[in-house]
Structure 1
Amino acid sequence: GGRSRIHTTFADGVEMVEEYTADSRPQILVRRWKAPTTLGGDGKWEFEVGEPTPIFLCRESTEVWEWRVRNLPYPKDTYLITIDESSQELIIRTTNKKYFKRFRIPAMARANLPLDRSALSHSHSNNTLVIQVSFASIVMRRGLVALVILDTISMHADGVKKAALEALSSRVLDGRGLRIGICTTEWNKEIIDALRDGAIRTLTAAGVATDDIIVFKAPGAYELPFTASRLILSENVDAVICVGCLIKGETMHFEYICEAVTQGIMKLNLDTGVPVMFGVLAVLNEKQARARAGLEEGGHNHGVEWAQTAIEMAQLRARTAKKSAAKCPYHVIPACPFVWTTALAVLGYGLHLVVCRKHN
């Protein structure tokens, strides 16, 4: 149950809010837009998917658009669903003239795809009229699968993403002489082990010696920043990969941990001078996590990219260190500004006491 919400603000001030079901196959429940007025004030929300009231609802999946019209108690044969060819609108009417509605499918209009009567179906039960339009069949029938990218959940998008991941994974890197740390969590062991092993295989394939891959374990994702800091302090590594998996539950725990871990890992990058990779999956369900660990058909192991990025960042660190002194971790006492400030203050106070005694 539940739903996820995405709020996007574009450069021209236009806002878009989308809400999806929080399950293994997310469906869009609401998409609404708001543009600023000509005087710069707040405009009104306009609903593209869903409605401000629960009477007329629209949902999108990877195959169909679905509309549900509630509180319609008439028999199924009462409803007539037609297409207005001139305006490309769907029309709902009843033979008893008790209900009438016409509406467009914005995504179809933007893609310049005409509606097809054969892709339209409807049913009625529990006083709810359900109308479905199969956009997959419309696109397939016109041979536009590889060309038309709808602004909904696109069939083509998965292929584009897969091609991009394959391109990233095929990079040839030289990791010889590097020393890489990996911090893993104990939760979701099967997923973590797959991600860790994918990273290790990539590192060794790039020439990183097995003895130069150091693995530390943390109980959970929240402990990853501290574990990584101790690894940096004790093992003299060139880069660290933090590997974890957070799966959203029914409480706010997921959001709090995600925020804390993200900030902690970012702070390590800035404070220690050692690049730390954010390899923490933050997913809505276990299936999404398994796919990103390469454990599902068609999935991809993201441990590969994390390892490649670790090599690239370690090399960047080495190149920039030749031009300026490398930033030492604050955990090393001589590099800590607080230690130096305190030492100078104590020294100054000691000199003050010596001078006072001489005068006395």
Structure 2
Amino acid sequence: MTELGALRHLAAEIEALEQAGLLRKPNAPPPAGCLVLCSNDYLGYGTDPWPASSETTSGAGASRLVSGHHAEHALAEQTIAEWLGFEAALLFSSGYAANVGAIAALARPGDVIVSDALNHASIIDGCRLSGATVVVVPHRDADAAEAALERARGARRRWLVTESYFSMDGDSPDLVRLRAACDRWDAALFVDEAHAVGTLGPRGRGVSARVGVRPDVLVGALGKALGLQGAFVAGPMVLRTWLWNRARSFVFSTGISPTLAAAVRHRVIRVAADDEGRARLERVTERLRAGLASIVGDALLPSHGPILPCLVGAPEDALRVSARLRERGVLVQAIRPPTVPPGTSRLRVTAHARLTDAELTRILYAFMETVMETWNP
């Protein structure tokens, strides 16, 4: 046996991934002056100094249920709930932990979960862990979603789970129709607003608030537009109490740093008031969208908001285009399966509020040169 012992099979599997153009490796940090056009720091807060007092405790010390519950956690959760207009909120260590923990705690064997085909991996894993029957419906197909809820009349409980702003496609479901379908068939509406809170809707409250829909469960992220780390689940107090007791990714995790919780409160107050930042983001996005459309044509998929997906197709082609852009000082990572379906590898371009006019010109020029040299969209 080799020194890998029982893990020796992994070398062949890694080689197979590499041959398919799907092997992921750590990337070198972008060189100085490189424009990062693939992060989720939509408002640019992530580059700002840490907004918390140095007197705040750095570590929670234990899970929140043991001795890790601090005043900063409660204040942050109250601020989030008030911002979004919900009764309560609960902090999680990541968006993945929030979705997996909440869905697996809420749904059970005998339930039916109706899930959009392009939902995030954290939603998919939460559905699987719940033990419920999962019905996957075509992307943004409200008719199929309602039909699935109707067919599930014999279920113990029914759930409809969707993102509000899909991270790889930059599009949104018809939340008004989905809310009506849930009300008609006595189902709970679970909405992941990770890429929308802070960025879209009145006071940055997300797509649900923009269209006047109130989900039963709302998940939001703190590591995207708010520029920090972690996530939250918002809803009625009974939801918070249940998750406090039954969401395993919360119960069995050390509480997030109280210093981070204090920063969360600061950032929520800031983002709620930052209409100017959202307006600037919209202007940057529209210039970038118009410029990319003139360069790559139909390869720029229809979308709204700051996510601008450019379809390439094969994984190796997406990697090659990404490498050429990096050589020109623009960092846009290639997104490949299993993150996106086979045949839809892409460049996921994201707009950021702090891009200057000169930087936008530089970005579009880099795309134009790359198209002329190595990409035929």
TM-score exceeds 0.5: no
Which has a greater percent of strand? 1
The higher radius of gyration belongs to: 1
Q: TM-score, normalised by structure 1?
A: 0.29
Q: TM-score, normalised by structure 2?
A: 0.28
Which has a greater percent of helix? 2
Higher relative contact order, structure no. (Cα contacts within 8 Å, ≥ 6 residues apart): 2
